[in-house]
Amino acid sequence: MSRHWFFATLIVASAGISTGAFAHGDEKHFAAGAPGNPKQKSRTVEIVMREGNGTMSYSHDVIAIKRGEQIRFIIKNEGALTHEFMLASVKENEAHGKLMEKYPEMEHDDPNGKTLEPGKSAEVLWKFTKSGTFEFACLIPGHHPAGMHGLVKVK
């Protein structure tokens, strides 16, 4: 466990705010579905993060997914700043974003979210077990309002 991850988890736990995951017995539950199984088939979706012209963005605004589908998100940071990909409900991301205004140094290496320095990439393997509209967003202060958010529509 990295020190940053532990620090972030500690803050979130003590503040009582959900980041999209909560413990229930030994199992973790997530708003947007569940961590994927590498042994099952998946569809790859590559997402690029970047800045430019006063905005920050993901290469996708909306991703349509069938319920039960497993997606291998390949996330690439092609920007000059650190960015995140956090997959949760809109409400959870909003609460998590408010927390990050207080603790902007929070970093994530979770099943549903990664923090990526410039030039880095990461994978999030995710199974969309629930229908509904979810959000992926960068919760580093100022990034969501600058355009770093997108929707996942699961039908």
Q: Which is nearer to Cu ion, 127 or 143 (CB)?
A: 143
* 143 lies in the binding site for Cu ion (CB under 5 A): yes
Q: Which is nearer to Cu ion, 96 or 127 (CB)?
A: 96
Q: Give the type of residue at 78.
A: E
Q: Which of 132, 121, 115, 120 lies closest to 44 in space, CA to CA?
A: 121
Measured from the CB of residue 101, what is the shortest distance to Cu ion in angstroms? 14
Distance in angstroms (rounded) separating the CA atoms of residues 140 and 151:
18
* 47 lies in the binding site for Cu ion (CB under 5 A): no
* 83 lies in the binding site for Cu ion (CB under 5 A): yes
Maximum distance among all alpha carbons in the chain? 46
* 96 lies in the binding site for Cu ion (CB under 5 A): no
Distance in angstroms (rounded) separating the CA atoms of residues 4 and 46:
26
Name 34's bridge partners.
127
Q: Which is nearer to Cu ion, 18 or 115 (CB)?
A: 115
* 140 lies in the binding site for Cu ion (CB under 5 A): yes
Interface residue with Cu ion among 12, 32, 139, 148 (CB under 5 A) is 148
Measured from the CB of residue 97, what is the shortest distance to Cu ion in angstroms? 11
Structure letter (DSSP) for residue 43: E
Q: Which residue is nearest to Cu ion (CB)?
A: 138
Measured from the CB of residue 144, what is the shortest distance to Cu ion in angstroms? 8
Measured from the CB of residue 102, what is the shortest distance to Cu ion in angstroms? 17
Distance in angstroms (rounded) separating the CA atoms of residues 137 and 117:
15
Part in contact with Cu ion (CB under 5 A); list of ranges 6-14, 24-32, 68-76, 82-90: 82-90
CB-count burial class (<10 Å; 0-12, 13-18, 19+) for 120: middle
